[in-house]
Structure 1
């Protein structure tokens, strides 16, 4: 696994080799340990270079060994880091590609570090529910100071080589053969004192207010990552570095690692990690031909509609260096859209410049603004991003069918309208596909790719490849009202609205779900998305009730419960944050923070009285159960209908598009963790109490899985049988 060789100038090169990313498996650690010992014992060797094979240093722990308690990353790797640092001969790390997690810990154990200009370093362990467990939390703050170490370790962000040089993580950045430059440096430092290069012997660089800085960081991560333990543990490990000698800090680091390892969170986050990789290995839907199944190049693109979503999509394409034509319906809307897009692009340029990227503006694709559909005749892909109105979308696709070249891909950003109906107005339905972006489109990682009945394999491959090009996670789903993600969230939002009808305060509901770990409670989320957007979707899908006065608004549609509250707010033009009023009030002077609205509370009281709705005390547990189990129940129905290819698809969608806390794995993983019999019994209990809410009626697939003995999540799909799959 590790190669040890001499070169004529008394420098030994030890190469990490475990394709494709030189993950630090137990076997590789043992091989490096052996090679290091041989190099130190060889009198002909005066210095050592540690590098990685295949243009990569190391991406850290071997993910194939996750979940194997006997192979924890701590002890073996820590010993190797200490041996590197304790070497009497200078050791230089030659960092190419990435040095992440344990890979960076190895590099910190070396006396010197050289990085290629395109290399990146970082400690992503926090995203896997753990912390750097081989001295990372103790050596890094001794090298670069407590404040930047705090930022790196608690966020898991990757740091480009140029920034690493500024921080002091690496000693030199090169734009040529990194190993050769490391050998040159190694020869220069032969016989030089190494005391100041041994990080464990150095004091932590910290300001006088270090404790206050850590306290403030702890408050911040508790608020930002509600319930997630790893960010808090990272801070406590850094606190140990400030307070304790290195040897004691290492003990605290291990203690914190062991604590985290024995909770459910690392397994949930590692499941989420693997789920994303499984989703990336998607397969074509049954019945779709594999012939000519390969992605086509996207050299030029167009976006129709420059509302909030369209602006973000334009920015995403430009960031991926794809030239874009941005189209609007009139000069006024075009001018508003142009200013908004240029503002977003300016922010992206500033971000790139802060990361040391020169000529940042030249790294963006060009954006051309137009009112003329004729400008789209030669583009490779068009993404329609107008509001949710089927008639409007069909009119646009008729025009695109007439204007665009035959091989152009026609995408719709609809949140849940029928892809087949949109495609029906074109003469090339095989080129039509759904590309459901999430707000804000230029930063959100998720892209829900929706295939229709006639969508070709080439269109699917191209859309999924586009997601990767844009730096997003593409999840392929089938065509049905609201698709996969929004089908689940609709049930969740409905339960939240029903709960306020039953007497709960919307602030209490938001708080309960945010305390669970959801990024944003349902009412704050609806206000952010825009109540008008939700209203239009309800209208298009026929989910609205009769439009009557407040005194006669029906709360039942046949045998089904229905809430007209969204209709009432939108009729008042209360659309959420963008209008300054929705479920909450928003004042510009308050930074658009959600503020309680006394008028709405009074209105709800009057509304309950008019409709003779019984109010009762609803516990926080019931709020969480009703909202989350209704969402999960719909997830089982999505699987049963064949809209998603597996529970991992749903979890990846929710982890990356809906603010589900990754330390809980995803809604379907959470159901498996709680236990399917528990989920079923809770749903049965709430459905018995609320027989007019179909979303609480347990899914047939959930019942089947419980009857089969609560099998593990990985086996669920095997129990579906031969249902009619949309995938």
Structure 2
């Protein structure tokens, strides 16, 4: 809705009212139409100001209306009517003006912004483009290069940058509405001809074709199959080459294609899934809504390797006091230098003061006596971590939360070493920890709800997307990753190459295929995990371990000292660079391995690579849901999008399964299980069969069947 009032006698004030961000719902749009008409018809009013209540201008379209029949006045004619008004209309931008909110402001004749406000056109992140004139008006203000950057990335810009780009006309540090009213009065008698953005020519560089060719090449490379960034470039090309009215027609055509696409559905699903996981629940049905987190002010990190350094930086940048502990003097000295550099670079990038003074360093656990929460990030060794938890239980104050960054180990075993197992929880960060958005919060059988709530709240404070998951080996992400990686190895045994597997997965949308990723993270890292599981048998290449099929290819590369990028060779070779190049040694190695084990080589196509790698990963996701390790498909999907590089425009593994069709997933798993009976995880799980038997309901209906399935197990 929108409220109308008259201020300073001659200024009509329109206030958008739709908390929390004054989204442009049908009621708000109708309110704008009605109040603009009232203001323009009011003979005492010489100018108009549009603002939002509660210090927020407008967050854009009401995404809850997507997928429902259109009601209320459409946005485009409403904005055109504002621009065509014969009285100056001034947008008073506080808080945010995003998406349709910024398009509304661009339809106004002037824009006054608070210096702390942010603006942007983030529609591309939802698989769409700015379709209320944003793709046509913005480049007429900023020029094409800036508009291409803003619209194809969807990034938010500060008011200061917006002023430099001519998106806003003036900034204020004071009351924005008062400043806008004062400004509106000062321009009441001025001509509006030059203030209507749609009538301006679009400034174009001399070599327009080269600009768009480079822009298209850039988005195709970065988008990895996403269609919305490409459509954004096409819309901006229309702004540069067509009259405004025809450019608007082209914008509308492109939007129509995007709006009904599977990618838009996936991105909008991801948007809501990210919010759903914040309202976490556990199989007992308990929710954190009733469990308040305890305040955490002083924290500690133990172990200052790569992960520990990133966690320390994250905590300090979030304004928390950190005691960073590393037992050995040389690693401590190196960590200090690395952390200092990371904090200084981060501060420069964000234009804020460095957080160096929030960190104190120590080689002694006794320095943790008064901390509220400890995160251990020592070497991934169960006995080492058990010993550490015994020591922490003795050193820390009775109410301190003890958190482990383990990626696979049993939380309950670690909690059993503490005097207060209810205060133990997993906080599984992803490398680099100060950059990656995902945090798996792993609750054990004795973790209290207050403990889980505190860890979730801390994750939010760190700017992470936190997902609460149950305790099992590998939790959610790494547990699903295991069959995915194994299938890649089996494909090599049967005739594929690392390049084939990786190219198929990268074409699907992953930033890196599984073998390039293995080289990046380190083949030695995977070897240690398998060794801890008792799977490694040095000096042998037998293909059966623990009664099931096993590929020793990774172990054999480890024994050759081929650890990946760090040694210059792994699945690929790296000639003094990070660029992965095919390696003739590996081809010979694979040929000899296949011959030694009498393996028939066959042609493997891309579809088989996708199905075997992705469908096995998806099947493990269904098992995780079946066991109650994750509360719903959104939890699994958010973990994979934010932690494992699953292409966001495909929604996540479980959403992708629903798009492919659960019946097809089931049929193909049965096919591969028959072909490879020695691989147990190819057997379709009970939950997948139940969903198919229930008519393959949409993903948002799965929780009902998950609960029924869990009750039968």
TM range (shorter): over 0.9
Distance in structure 2 (CA, Å) of the matches to 1:206 and 1:326: 53
Q: Which residue is equivalent to 2:205?
A: 207
1:565 matches 2:553: yes
User: Paired residues, what number?
Assistant: 711
Task: Give 3-state SS (helix, strand or coil) of 2:529's partner.
Answer: helix
State the 1:285 CA deviation: 4.8
Report if the CA contact (8 A) 1:464-1:474 is conserved: yes
Q: For 1:62-113, what per-residue CA distance to the aligned partner results, in whole angstroms no more than 9, with x for missing partners? A: 11101125359xx811112111111111111111111110000001111111
Match of 1:356 in 2: none
Q: CA deviation at 1:189?
A: 0.9
Q: Please tell me whether residue 641 in structure 1 is matched to residue 632 in structure 2.
A: no
**Does 2:529 correspond to 1:531?**
no
Q: What's the offset of the Cα at 1:520?
A: 1.5
Which stretch shows the higher mean deviation, 386-395 or 88-97?
386-395
SS of the aligned residue for 1:450 comes to strand
Instruction: Say which is worse superposed, 225-234 or 381-390, in terms of deviation.
Output: 381-390
Match of 2:29 in 1: 29
Give 1:699 shift.
Answer: 0.9
SS at match of 1:133: coil
- Is this contact kept in 2: 1:655–1:662, CA < 8 A? yes
Would the aligned equivalents of 1:319 and 1:365 in 2 still touch at CA under 8 Å?
no
Preserved CA contact (<8 Å) 1:305 1:386: yes
Aligned mates of 1:389, 1:16 — CA distance in 2: 57
Contact 2:369 2:397 in 1 (8 A): yes
Mapped contact 2:687–2:709 kept (Cα < 8 A) = no
> Would the alpha carbon gap of residues 620 and 489 (structure 1) be closer, same or farther in structure 2, given more than 3 Å must change?
same
- Farther-moved stretch of structure 1 (383-392 vs 137-146): 383-392
Which residue matches 1:703?
689
Structure 1 residue 514 corresponds to structure 2 residue 502: no
Is 1:651 equivalent to 2:637 in the alignment? yes
- Residues 481 and 541 in structure 1, CA contact (< 8 A), matched pair in contact too: no
Q: How far off is 1:493 after superposition? A: 0.7
Contact in 2 for aligned 1:320/1:364 (Cα 8 Å): no
The corresponding residue for 1:578 is 566
More deviation, 84-93/506-515: 84-93
Give the whole-Å Cα distance in 2 for the aligned partners of 1:558 and 1:436. 28
Deviates more, 1:203-212 or 1:263-272: 203-212
Give a deviation string over 1:393-437, Cα, whole Å, max 9, x none.
112212211111111111111111100111111111111110111
TM superposition shift of 1:587: 3.6
Corresponding residue for 2:480? 488
Offset, 1:364: 6.7
Counterpart CA distance in 1 for 2:552 and 2:620 is 22
Q: Output the CA distance in 2 between the equivalents of 1:291 and 1:68.
A: 29
CA 1:288 to 1:31, structure 2 compared with 1: closer, same or farther past 3 Å?
A: closer
Give how far 1:533 is off. 2.2
Q: Is the 8 A contact 1:389 1:536 kept in 2?
A: no
Unaligned 5+ runs, structure 2: none
Match in the other structure for 1:619:
605
Which position in structure 1 is the counterpart of 2:106? Answer: 108
Aligned residue in 2 for 1:176: 174
Is the contact made by 2:279 and 2:289 (CA closer than 8 Å) also made in structure 1?
no
Give the match's secondary structure for 2:375.
strand
Asked whether the 8 Å contact 1:531–1:566 carries over to 2, the reply is yes
- Alignment correspondent of 2:147: 149
Instruction: Sort the Cα spacing of 1:579 and 1:295 in 2 relative to 1 into closer, same or farther, 3 A.
Output: farther
**Partner in structure 2 of residue 300 of structure 1:** 298
Contact 2:302 2:376 (C-alpha < 8 Å) held by counterparts: yes
TM value normalised by structure 2: 0.97
The answer to whether the 8 Å contact 1:324/1:365 transfers is no
CA distance in structure 1 between the aligned counterparts of 2:524 and 2:288, rounded to whole angstroms: 41
> How much has 1:289 moved relative to structure 2?
9.6
Q: Distance in 2 between matches of 1:34 and 1:55?
A: 22
Q: Are 1:692 and 2:672 counterparts?
A: no
Deviations 1:605-629 (A, max 9, x none): 1111111122111110000010000
Q: d(CA) in 2 for partners of 1:667 and 1:289?
A: 25
Q: Which residue of 2 aligns with 1:5?
A: 5
CA distance in 1, matches of 2:180, 2:558: 65
Answer yes or no: is the 8 Å Cα contact 1:317–1:365 preserved in 2.
Answer: no
Which of 440, 459, 468 is equivalent to 1:476?
A: 468
SS of structure 1 residue aligned to 2:23: coil
TM-score by length of 1: 0.95
Partner residue in 2 for 1:96: 94
8 Å CA contact 1:388–1:533 kept in 2: the answer is no
Cα separation, 1, equivalents of 2:682 and 2:449: 37
Please show how residues 441-452 of structure 1 align to structure 2 within 5 Å: 441-452=433-444
Superposed, 1:451-462 pairs within 5 Å as 451-462=443-454
Q: Is the CA contact 2:280–2:288 (under 8 Å) kept in the aligned structure 1?
A: no
Gap change, CA 1:287 and 1:8, over 3 Å in 2: closer
Alpha-carbon distance between aligned partners in 2 of 1:163 and 1:311, rounded to the nearest angstrom: 32
Instruction: Please name the residue that 2:544 is paired with.
Output: 556
Structure 1 pair 102–512 and aligned structure 2 pair: CA distance change class (3 A): same
**1:301 offset after TM fit, Å?**
1.3
Taking the TM superposition and a 5 Å limit, the aligned residue runs for 1:285-296 are: 285-286=283-284, 293-296=291-294
User: What corresponds to 2:276 in structure 1?
Assistant: 278
What is the CA-CA distance between 1:290 and the residue it aligns to?
A: 7.7
**Helix, strand or coil: the match of 1:720?**
helix
Specify whether residues 320 and 660 from structure 1 end up closer, same or farther in structure 2 by C-alpha distance, changes over 3 A only.
same
Select 2:587's aligned residue among 572, 584, 601: 601
Match of 2:162 in 1: 164
CA–CA separation in structure 1 for the residues paired with 2:36 and 2:289: 52
Distance in 1 (alpha carbons) for counterparts of 2:357 and 2:414: 29
- Post-superposition offset of 1:209: 2.9
1:546 aligns with 2:537: yes
Structure 1 residues 261-272: aligned runs within 5 Å: 261-272=259-270
Residues 225-253 of structure 1: CA distance to partner in whole angstroms, max 9, x if unpaired? 22110000001001111111111111110
Structure 1: runs of 5+ lacking an equivalent: 354-359
Change in Cα spacing, 1:131 to 1:195, as seen in structure 2 (3 Å) is same
Inter-partner Cα distance in structure 2 for 1:693 and 1:284: 30
Name the residue aligned to 1:16.
16
- How far apart, CA to CA, are the structure 2 residues paired with 1:270 and 1:656? 15
1:440 equivalenced with 2:466 (yes/no): no
Q: Residues of 1 paired with 2:648 and 2:71: CA distance? A: 24
The 5-angstrom pairing of residues 8-87 of structure 1 reads 8-70=8-70, 76-87=74-85
List structure 1 segments (4+ residues) > 4 angstroms apart after TM superposition. Answer: 287-292, 362-365, 721-725
What displacement does 1:497 show?
1.0
Alpha carbons of structure 1 residues 167 and 363: separation in structure 2 relative to 1, 3 Å: farther
The DSSP-based 3-state class of the residue aligned with 1:219 is: helix
Partner secondary structure for residue 353 of structure 2: helix
Query: Which deviates more from structure 2 when the two are superposed, residues 322-331 or residues 619-628?
Result: 322-331
Q: State which drifts further: 276-285 or 694-703.
A: 276-285
